[in-house]
Structure 1
Amino acid sequence: MKWAFVGASNIASEWMIGAVRALGDEVVAVVSGSAERAQAFASQHRIRHALTDIRALAGLGLDAVYVSCTNDQHEAAVLQAAAMGCHVLCEKPLALDLAAARRMVDACAAAGVVMGTNHHLRHNSAHRQMRGVLRQQGLGRLVAARISHSVFLRAQLQGWRIDRPQAGGGVVLDIAVHNADSLAFLLGEYPVEVMAMTQASGMGQGVEDNAMSLWQFASGLCAFTHQGFNTPHASNRLEILGDRASLEARGVLNQAPGGELVWRRSDGDLSLRLDHDNLYLRGLREMHQAIAGQPHDMATGEAGLKSLAVALAVLESARTGRRVAVDYA
């Protein structure tokens, strides 16, 4: 497939270029609001076309567009890609509000193209192993889930994420969406209500850089999630707790593969072997499956909309100090 990248981003440079090429696909163009940045990106990665206007992509014979510009620009890019008849892989969060996300999903459906959300964490080996155990009812009745997903946002990734709320900055839109998708992938459901508190602990300027939240699911399960930007010595962890056993995954909420997974049972702890497949490459393989009409585990556009709905409810709860029902409309 022939791809265009809209957004000369760090994730595009560090992960997506290599993943696309590893599949035998080609990146033929990059679009950035800065001509200098577009040209530098194209030169670094040997891309033929460096553009500043997404409309200039028409006529390049594209099959797909990867969108990784700032969150406030996602909608325009996705709508243009759909209008060109291109499949779309969009970074999360899809947009800043549900109405925009719905327009994006609907535009792709109307154009007959596949839309994916780049929720890479579901492609970690630990997530796949955990889902297998859960499908076998290996924990008994599920009681609770805990996610500690607090990091230190390195300097080159800070920028708009820590000081531009109008661009979709803040830790909730950046990380809570991942946590929502991870739990949906594992549990097969999204929360119905949330409660949350946020803070600006020193990194965020006008946006939150730390958030704690409780999520209630229709099944009765409760989940605790911690999202943070300003914790340089924190480790990440994902746990699913049942009445007969539990699963504990450590170091699995990263861009790189790895980590460890333990199945804790009454007859002893069992360490489950994890592969080290590239998460983004696996995600692209799943997208190829979706395009071919085959079974897949890609996070769809609809999945991206639902994870955004959870994050928006978290922000609303923190703002109002109230329990908030998640609106997936």
Structure 2
Amino acid sequence: MSKIRVAVVGCGAIAQRRHIPEYETNSHVQLVAFVDPVLERAEVYAAKHGAEAFTDYNEMLAKIKPDAVSVCTPNFLHAPVAIAAAQAGAHVLVEKPMATTDAEAQAMIEAAAASGVYLMVGHNQRLMPPHVKAKEILQTGKLGKVLTFRTSFGHPGPERWSVDGRGSWFFRKNEAIMGAMGDLGVHKSDLIRYLLDDEVAEVSSFIGTLHKDGTDVDDNSTSLLRMNSGAIGTLVASWTYYKGEDNSTVLWCEHGVIKIGTHPEDQVIVELRDGNVEKYAVGAISTNEKQSSSGVIDAFVDSLVTNTPPSISGEEGRRSLNVILAAFESQATGRNVKLS
């Protein structure tokens, strides 16, 4: 079988640390083009892979005609690049949040469908071994119904992560559109939907900029969620966890509690009401400080090789995005927001 010709649009931190290295180790892939407004960034990878470097994604699509495209741009470009790639006949893997509005997300889904290509969203949390294990345990029914939960993602902020540091697009509202909630909160809205196999019914949120000077994007958010099942819980996203990144989830259920990512070795801990405790060391959740394979690239490539629609589809990405958009609406209006 001929290799899948992949182009990477955006050569910043997420491309450098996740997409490019994971494509490099996938035997089904040939990296054929790199695009970045800073040409030198694209040229470094183009030289390494015998590929071409571009500053304009439309020019790249017309000249290279790749089989697939990874969209690793600032948030405001996710939809335009993904739509252009789909219209050019390329399968699309887009970073989260997949878009900045629901209308954009819908347009992306429609563009992929019209061209007969796949659209996948890079929600890597649901592919992390501890989360896969936790869902497996929940599905056995031994814990009964999930009653309440908390899910949290916080770290010191993108200045420690982005290739541009404090000068990153993450802090420019016109490019990022949303801050910690779009960066981290959408991971958790996707995760809670995945773990509970349920949709968010209602959101109430406090979102603000508490400590990052010189930016008007949010650096903290706390949201109260009510699921269709009736379960209630909190979702926290923060860029001001200066001492101790947190990427944990705890679900309190009828017959006990399941703790995910609360212990460095035992990534999943089940404590049952009958006194039994089960501990699972199933591999870590990838963090900014300690990278492990996201699983996203392999899942995307596997979809293309097997001609199977990706499980983390555009529709899934859209539902997770809408939770975040509802949170911003709640902050703006001071009201609970119901999701359809």
TM-score, normalised relative to structure 2: 0.88
Partner SS state of residue 236, structure 1: strand
Other-structure match for 1:262: 269
1:95-126 per-residue CA deviation (whole Å, 9 max, x = no partner) reads 11110111001100111111100011111111
The answer to whether residue 189 in structure 2 is matched with residue 177 in structure 1 is no
Specify the alignment match of 2:100 in structure 1. Answer: 96
Residue 240 of structure 2 is matched in structure 1 by 230
TM-score (norm 1): 0.90
Match of 2:242, as an amino acid? Answer: P
Q: Give the partner amino acid of 1:109.
A: A
Residue matched to 2:289: none
- SS of structure 1 residue aligned to 2:295: helix
> 2:64, 2:74 → 1: CA distance?
24
How big is each residue's C-alpha offset from its partner over 1:142-199, in whole Å with a ceiling of 9 and x where there is no partner? 1011112111115242522234255324111111110111111111122011000022
After superposition, the Cα gap between the structure-2 partners of 1:251 and 1:71, relative to the gap in structure 1 and judged at 3 Å, is farther
Mark the runs of 5 or more structure 2 residues left unpaired by the alignment.
287-291
Deviations 1:249-290 (A, max 9, x none): 1269xxxx9871101112322111303698655222322343
Match of 2:313 in 1: 300
Q: Which residue of 45, 63, 80 corresponds with 2:84?
A: 80
State how far apart, in whole Å, the 2-side matches of 1:163 and 1:202 are.
15
Rounded Cα–Cα distance in structure 2 between residues aligned with 1:271 and 1:107:
45
Match of 1:208 among 213, 218, 229: 218
Contact 1:313 1:326 in 2 (8 A): yes
Deviation (angstroms), 1:39: 2.5
Q: Give the structure 2 partner of residue 56 of structure 1.
A: 59
Report how many aligned residue pairs link the two structures: 321
Residue 133 of structure 2 aligns with an amino acid whose one-letter code is: Q
Are residues 1:11 and 2:14 paired? yes
Describe the superposition over 1:208-236 as per-residue Cα deviations: whole angstroms up to 9, x where unpaired: 10110001111111121110001112333
The alignment partner of 2:240 has SS state of coil
CA RMSD of aligned residues (A): 2.2
Q: Which runs of 4+ in 1 moved over 4 A?
A: 276-281
- What is the match of residue 322 of structure 1? 335
Please tell me whether the aligned partners of residues 65 and 90 of structure 2 are also in contact (alpha carbons under 8 angstroms). Answer: no
Deviation at 1:42, TM superposition (A): 3.3
Any gaps of 5 or more consecutive residues in structure 1?
Answer: none
CA distance in 2, matches of 1:40, 1:151: 29
Cα 1:89/1:144, change in 2 over 3 Å: same
Q: Distance in 1 between matches of 2:248 and 2:106?
A: 31
Task: State the identity as a percent.
Answer: 26
Q: Which amino acid aligns with 1:167?
A: A
